Amino acid sequence: MEEMLFAMRIETDTKGPSIFEEVKSYLSENNIPMENIIACATDGATSVVDRYRGFIAHLKRIIPSIFTIHCVIHREHLVAKNLGGHLNLSFSVVIKAVNFIKSHALQDRLFRQLCEENDEDFQTLLLHTEVRWLSKGNCLQRFVTLWDTKVSFMSDKEHGERLVDAKADIFYLADIFQKLNLLNKTLQGKNSNLVDCKEAIVSFLKNLEVYCHNMGRQEFLQFPNLKMIAEALKDDDLTVYVKRLKQIHKDMQERFNDLLNLGIPDWILNPFEVQLTQVEAEIQESLIDLQSDITARHQFSQFQKDFWIKSDLPNKFTTLWEKAQSFFIAFPSTYLVDSGFCKVVFWTKSRNRIDIATRGDLRLSLSNLEPDIMKLAEKHQPQGSH
């Protein structure tokens, strides 16, 4: 079960020891042993992860075996922020062009009118916000979709010429950020676990290798926006784009080194096919009992590896569950917290009466999150850090 436990105002500072004492005090008051905590996901803030005085450091003094992880969505967002000098300048042109229209009511009305005259599917551009997970990709894709109308509108304006010069870069950025957004959405969601996140990261890294190979051969099947302007692409442009893809691959490997090296035993992924001689002696008997359980075998055929949390296996095979539990119940990201606060932020009515700490309004926001969370992910992307 995934559920909000508590939200609390910190009366003094927000340093590691203060955060730890508040958590420790709450658990003690509610008779919850700290040893019940098996994992902790953070957003990488210094007050939390500092080696000596951070919250995690204090937690590990009490629970040395605790599994800790930096939010996978936050790490992916940090990789996406590193554009590089040349592409960063091109992206800045997009931002200036969008801001020129969105920040002036007259220009916004004129642009809408031009979109209607050109029979465009959209009549407005999307603003970019740095701390929003999906913001760059959505902003760039809408910009490319309205490219002809946008260029026509900006032809006699300040950034019009620079916009045309940066066309190839903008189309490339729209493509690569769409792929980064797809990865981001894969890492989001309730019931996400370490196994699923590792699979998503490994798959993305292999895709990057394919993208580099194909782009080097001027094959743009995976880059639909670039494919539309393939004839206008220069060799120097392709060199920059391949180099950027390789840099993303390198950054992903570095930032997700712990997850990529996380050893997931074969018996967890498929307990009914693994050879008993290949597993630890202490779980061999329990694994034999599991493989002989007809009901469990049927559940596995239905749910695959998720059958660990969709049945009574934790009670029936305690020894196996103790080994497998962290892979399925540890939070790989701070998604639920970010989504909950995001929901609170957009409660514009009566926001001044929201009481997250004592009345549990954050818990209420999380319970109401399920019906429209995907709409929020598209429209009001949760913050990548807090």
Residues 216 and 248 in one domain: yes
The answer to the question of residue 223 being in a domain is: yes
The answer to the question of residue 358 being in a domain is: yes
Residues 141 and 234 in one domain: yes
The answer to the question of residue 267 being in a domain is: no
What pLDDT shows up at residue 378? 46
Quickly count: other Cβ atoms within 10 Å of residue 240's Cβ. Answer: 17
The answer to the question of residue 282 being in a domain is: no
Residues 155 and 208 in one domain: yes
Residues 247 and 178 in one domain: yes
**Enclosing domain of residue 353:** 335-379
Say how far apart CA 354 and CA 227 lie, in whole Å: 49
Residues 247 and 346 in one domain: no
Residues 179 and 100 in one domain: yes
Say how far apart CA 321 and CA 324 lie, in whole Å: 5
The answer to the question of residue 134 being in a domain is: yes
Say how far apart CA 178 and CA 141 lie, in whole Å: 8
Per-residue three-class SS string for 170-207 = HHHHHHHHHHHHHHHHHHCCCCCCHHHHHHHHHHHHHH
Quickly count: other Cβ atoms within 10 Å of residue 2's Cβ. Answer: 11
Say how far apart CA 369 and CA 337 lie, in whole Å: 11
Of the three residues 216, 245, 260, the one that is the final residue of a domain is 260
Question: String of b and e for 212-237 (b: at least 16 CB within 10 Å)?
Answer: beebeeeebeebebbeebeeebeeeb
What pLDDT shows up at residue 62? 92
Say how far apart CA 82 and CA 248 lie, in whole Å: 8
What pLDDT shows up at residue 199? 93
Say how far apart CA 141 and CA 242 lie, in whole Å: 20
Q: Are 150 and 97 in contact (CB under 8 A)?
A: yes
Residues 343 and 364 in one domain: yes
Give the up-direction half-sphere exposure of residue 141: CA atoms within 13 A in the CB hemisphere.
Answer: 16
The answer to the question of residue 105 being in a domain is: yes
Say how far apart CA 225 and CA 144 lie, in whole Å: 8
Say how far apart CA 148 and CA 138 lie, in whole Å: 18
Backbone angles phi, psi at 247, to 5 degrees: -70, -40
| 52 Cβ contact list (under 8 Å, min separation 6) | none
The answer to the question of residue 252 being in a domain is: yes
Q: Which residues of the chain have pLDDT under 50?
A: 348-349, 369-386
Residues 38 and 155 in one domain: no
Residues 89 and 29 in one domain: no
- Which DSSP string do the residues of 45-112 spell out, in sequence order? -HHHH-TTTSHHHHHHHH-TT-EEEE-HHHHHHHHHH---HHHHHHHHHHHHHHHHHHT-HHHHHHHH
Of the three residues 260, 285, 302, the one that is the final residue of a domain is 260
Residues 30 and 154 in one domain: no
Run of H or E residues at 41: strand 39-42
Residues 94 and 228 in one domain: yes
Residue pLDDT, tens place only, 118-161:
888 888 888 877 767 788 888 899 988 998 888 888 888 877 78
Of the three residues 70, 93, 112, the one that is the final residue of a domain is 70
| Residue carrying the six token digits 């790989």 | 332
Q: Are 124 and 112 in contact (CB under 8 A)?
A: yes
The answer to the question of residue 372 being in a domain is: yes
Residues 43 and 152 in one domain: no
- Which of helix, strand or coil describes residue 247? helix
State the total domains in the chain: 3
Residue pLDDT, tens place only, 260-270:
998 888 888 88
